[in-house]
Amino acid sequence: MSTTPALARAPTPSWVLAAMLSLTYGCVPSDFDYDTADDWEVAAAEIRDGIAEHLAIDPDAPRPPLRPVWIHGRQVHDGYAIENVSFASLPGVYVTGNLYRPLDAAGRSITAPGSLPAVLNPHGHFFEPGWYPRTRPDMQARAATLARMGAVAFAWDMVGIGDSTQLEHDAPSVPALQTWNSLRAVDFVRSLPEVDPTRVAVTGASGGASQGFALVALDDRLAASVPVAMLSAVFAGGDPCEDLYPDGLHGTLEVDATAAPKPQLVISDGGDWTAHVPDRELPFLRHIYGLYGAETNLESVHFGSEGHDYGPNKRAAMYDFMARTLGLEAPGEEPPAVPHATLVVFDPGHPRPQDAVIGELGIAGALRGLGGG
Ligand SMILES: [Zn+2]
């Protein structure tokens, strides 16, 4: 595990103390030690730099072309269409996913430039036989409903899962590549002519929220976020791909707080490490949003009798938030899932490109050019 010199050199910031106290006492201090937005901005910049340094990626590095972008397998449904997508996040490194696009009342594509918001939907470690995490019925319901509400929705694979087979999911480069792919997913949806680049939001549950936290911290282009079942002062996820943060950050809370003052809906439940969010994590977030005079931009919903998922009630809360925040229509009934096989990106008719870089050595080399030195 690499250390993070910038953080180690700095005077012990109060968020480090907060994290340490959280580990010890299971709570964040009531005195948050940030009196102004400027105070917090210093800490937030340190968090961003620490993540970038930990992952050895520079979010400001020049972005190589997304080409080749493949969009195929279009299927038209009531109010939306689904397409199967791959694009290059780095030369020879492919992101694979599904794009859900709104259709107008006549069933036609909506092409007016900049007319539609976009919602990114990274997935968590939710596995179900017969499906990719990306194609599971609840993910389809989420993305399809957002499309029927009027947003372009994109769901893509974690590295090493689903159609993403260039690197094993537990390989050392996964946290960096997964984060880079998230940044490129923003580039991808913003490259679609109909997408309004100022209205791009992200939502995910568990490991999907982990990807969202890192994305919000590193990418100022996000307009809003809905983290589900992952906010915690003391836990940042147990999977190797969630090794995203520098030493000293033991939970996701401070990283999530870098979203302030942008609109955010925190969704928590009683069945996992978000059980204490209303009393433990939200006061800190409210304090940070309050420094910007933006308390009303922070919303929360707690489902005390629910567990670790992105279930129907959580999705309904997210739809309501997205409708108000992005200017979407109210959600109708969630559409039924389509067969998994129709959502697969790489198949004999659409094989993975020949230039695909395979394995840790090659991927690490591709990432190396993104390092901050
Ligand atoms: Zn993982």
Query: Tens digits of per-residue pLDDT, 87-142?
Result: 999 999 999 999 999 999 999 999 999 999 999 999 999 999 999 999 999 999 99
Q: 177 CA distance to ligand 1 centroid (A)?
A: 12
Q: If you count them, how many residues does the chain have?
A: 373
How many angstroms is it from 241 CA to the middle of ligand 1? 4
d(CA 205, ligand 1 centre) in Å: 12
- Per the domain annotation, does 21 fall within a domain? no
Cα(81) to centroid(ligand 1), Å: 29
- Give the domain range for residue 197: 70-343
| Residues at Cβ < 5 Å from ligand 1 ion | 239, 241
> Ligand 1 mean position to 69 CA, how many Å?
25
Residue 4 falls inside a structural domain: no
pLDDT range class, residue 265, cuts 50, 70, 90: very high
Q: Is position 229 within any domain?
A: yes
Residue 353 CA to ligand 1 centre (angstroms): 24
Calculate how far, in angstroms, residue 162's C-alpha sits from the geometric centre of ligand 1. Answer: 12
Distance 239 CA to ligand 1 centre (A): 5
Report how many helices (DSSP H) and strands (DSSP E) the chain contains, helices first.
Answer: 10, 9
Note the pLDDT of residue 28: 55
Q: Is the pLDDT of residue 156 over 70?
A: yes
Both tokens of 56, joined, read: 């050895």
What pLDDT score was predicted for residue 371? 57
Ligand 1 centroid – CA 207 distance (Å): 7
In CATH, what number is assigned to the domain containing residue 127?
3.40.50.1820
For the question of whether the overall pTM of this predicted structure is more than 0.75, the answer is yes
Separation of 242 CA from ligand 1 center, angstroms? 6
The answer to whether residue 309 sits within a structural domain is yes
Give pLDDT, residue 249. Answer: 84
Average pLDDT, the chain: 91
pLDDT digits (tens, 9 = 90+) for 295-352: 999 999 999 999 999 999 999 999 999 999 999 999 999 999 999 999 999 999 999 9
- Is the residue at 366 inside a domain? no
Q: Express each pLDDT in 173-220 by its tens digit.
A: 999 999 999 999 999 999 999 999 999 999 999 999 999 999 999 999
For residue 167, how far is its CA from the centre of ligand 1 (angstroms)?
A: 12
CA distances, 86 to each of 69, 165, 179 (Å): 6, 13, 17
In a domain, 159, yes or no: yes
Q: How far apart are CA 297 and CA 289, in angstroms?
A: 8
Distance 178 CA to ligand 1 centre (A): 9
Count: domains in the chain: 1
CB atoms within 10 A of CB 238: 10
Binned at pLDDT 50, 70 and 90, residue 247 comes out as confident
Q: For Cα atoms 217, 259, 232, give the angle at the middle one, nearest 5 degrees.
A: 85
Report percent pLDDT > 70 for the chain: 91
Q: Is the pLDDT of residue 14 over 80?
A: no
What is the distance in A from the centroid of ligand 1 to the CA of 140?
20
Beta bridge partners of 302: 268
State the average pLDDT over residues 233-247: 92
- 61 vs 324, higher pLDDT: 324
Residue 104 lies in a domain: yes
d(CA 197, CA 85): 19
Cα(175)–Cα(190) distance, rounded to whole angstroms? 23
State how far the alpha carbon of 39 is from the alpha carbons of 33, 35, 351, in Å: 9, 6, 51
Q: Is residue 322 part of a domain?
A: yes
- The confidence score (pLDDT) of residue 128 equals 95
Q: Is the pLDDT of residue 16 over 80?
A: no
Distance 169 CA to ligand 1 centre (A): 6
User: Where does the pLDDT of residue 32 fall: very low under 50, low under 70, confident under 90, or very high at 90 and above?
Assistant: low
23 CA from centroid of ligand 1 (Å): 23
